[in-house]
Amino acid sequence: MHRCLAVSACLLTVAAAAGEASLREMAAKRKFLVGAAVAIGPLVNETEYQDTLKREFNICVPENAFKMAGLRPARDKFDFSQADKLAEFAAANNIKLRGHTLVWHQSVPKWLSDGKFSRDEALQIMKEHITTVLQHFKGKVYAWDVVNEAIHDKKPYAIRDDSFWGKTIGADYVEKAFEFARAADPNIILYYNEYGAEGMGGKSDAVYELVKKLREKKLVDGVGWQCHVPCGWKPGDAHAQNAERLGKLGVELAITELDFAIKQPTTPEKLQAQADSYRDTLKFCLSQPAFKALLTWGFTDKHSWIPGFSKGKNGDALVFDAQYKPKPAYGAMIEALKQ
Ligand code: XIL
């Protein structure tokens, strides 16, 4: 690491040790939720991971542990053993928990995709899944991503018809999932979560129309913007416009999976640009009344999906480095919360 950045990271660590307010303390003052995705392996095995998580965040989300393939190894078998580790940790440390995700085109178990099920059977399996999972986590989960990434990337931005759910049930699988979730637990906040629909454009128009339709039926309460974006990205007028039109539908908003991937190699300049991105994104959320939360997809560069996903081309996307030292992005988030 560049010497001056190493020194500033070190000063931040010292400041944290000297009792300077953490992200969660600062966020609480703003009545805002700042959080991160959590992987169960390090949660169980690494003290520094646990310490950072409970010190810095007032909301968390499982990176993979609540997805269908893990929770439902067979049609008649649910396995909550991994998921419960996070639910227990969150409750013990007064950290809110988001559920992610009930229905997605990925993480479909093989028994399901290969099962040659009819539409009615698939709907029944979806209903069983949503009902059992929501009841299991009743009172423990603050909001659920009921459906994740249902809209195609390309024109005409229709509901995906190439996934198990779309192929077997049809485009109404999205609405059905929300109906089942609402019936299973009328008290939790139901989100539609999507990527690449943060600003204005064809895909975000499609999200808007979907959410409007669901909202008219009182089936949705929130919209998640994933925000897996490159270092240097910043929200602008188009994002404000999109947030405002969604807000007018009466839904709350959250950035649910933020990370700013740095094209390798990482340099001090890129770390500074990343800090600016984190600062401006958090400031943007704080300036928009509909935004209730910002979560990053992981929190330490030691455990991030970015290097694997980008085949090593990108990395260092998060706020703490691989040694759990705060990066310039951390100070930038604190600064945004101070304003
Ligand atoms: C990713 C996880 O980070 C990986 O560990 C896993 O192999 C695949 O899924 N959008 C989402 C998340 O909604 O669930 C994805 O998480 C990242 C993209």
pLDDT tens, the chain, 339 aa long:
444 444 445 445 544 544 589 999 999 999 999 999 999 999 999 999 999 999 999 999 999 999 999 999 999 999 999 999 999 999 999 999 999 999 999 999 999 999 999 999 999 999 999 999 999 999 999 999 999 999 999 999 999 999 999 999 999 999 999 999 999 999 999 999 999 999 999 999 999 999 999 999 999 999 999 999 999 999 999 999 999 999 999 999 999 999 999 999 999 999 999 999 999 999 999 999 999 999 999 999 999 999 999 999 999 999 999 999 999 999 999 999 998
The sign of the dihedral angle between the CA atoms of 116, 121, 122, 127 is: negative
Half-sphere exposure of 173 (CA within 13 A, CB side): 32
Ligand 1, atom 13, lies closest to the CA of 148
Q: How far apart are CA 128 and CA 176, in angstroms?
A: 12
Residue 237, classified by CB atoms within 10 Å of its CB into exposed (0-12), middle (13-18) or buried (19+), is: exposed
Ligand 1, atom 4, lies closest to the CA of 305
Q: The pTM is what? A: 0.95
Ligand 1, atom 15, lies closest to the CA of 63
Ligand 1 in reach of 259 Cβ (< 6 A): no
Whether 175 is catalytic: no
Half-sphere exposure of 72 (CA within 13 A, CB side): 23
Question: What pLDDT shows up at residue 17?
Answer: 46
Tally Cβ neighbours within 10 Å of residue 268: 14
Ligand 1 in reach of 107 Cβ (< 6 A): no
Ligand 1: atom nearest CA of 256 is: 13
> Which of 38, 40, 257 maximizes ligand 1 atoms within 8 Å of its Cβ, making it the mutation to test the pocket?
257
Centroid of ligand 1 to alpha carbon of 34 (angstroms): 19
Backbone angles phi, psi at 144, to 5 degrees: -120, 140
Ligand 1 in reach of 257 Cβ (< 6 A): yes
Strand 222-225 and strand 189-194: the pairing is parallel
Ligand 1 in reach of 132 Cβ (< 6 A): no
Q: Given the structure tokens 């988030």, which residue do they identify?
A: 333
Q: Given the structure tokens 């019936």, which residue do they identify?
A: 183
Whether 25 is catalytic: no
Question: What pLDDT shows up at residue 178?
Answer: 99
Question: What pLDDT shows up at residue 250?
Answer: 98
| DSSP string covering 254-286 | EEEEEEEEEESSP-HHHHHHHHHHHHHHHHHHH
Ligand 1, atom 6, lies closest to the CA of 64
Q: How far apart are CA 336 and CA 330, in angstroms?
A: 10
Question: What pLDDT shows up at residue 1?
Answer: 43
Ligand 1 in reach of 296 Cβ (< 6 A): no
Ligand 1: atom nearest CA of 37 is: 3
On whether the CB atoms of residues 188 and 96 are closer than 8 A, the answer is no
Nearest to 97 by CA among 49, 73, 65, 126: 65
> Which of 43, 64, 98, 198 maximizes ligand 1 atoms within 8 Å of its Cβ, making it the mutation to test the pocket?
64
Tally Cβ neighbours within 10 Å of residue 97: 24
The sign of the dihedral angle between the CA atoms of 82, 87, 93, 96 is: positive
On whether the CB atoms of residues 262 and 231 are closer than 8 A, the answer is yes
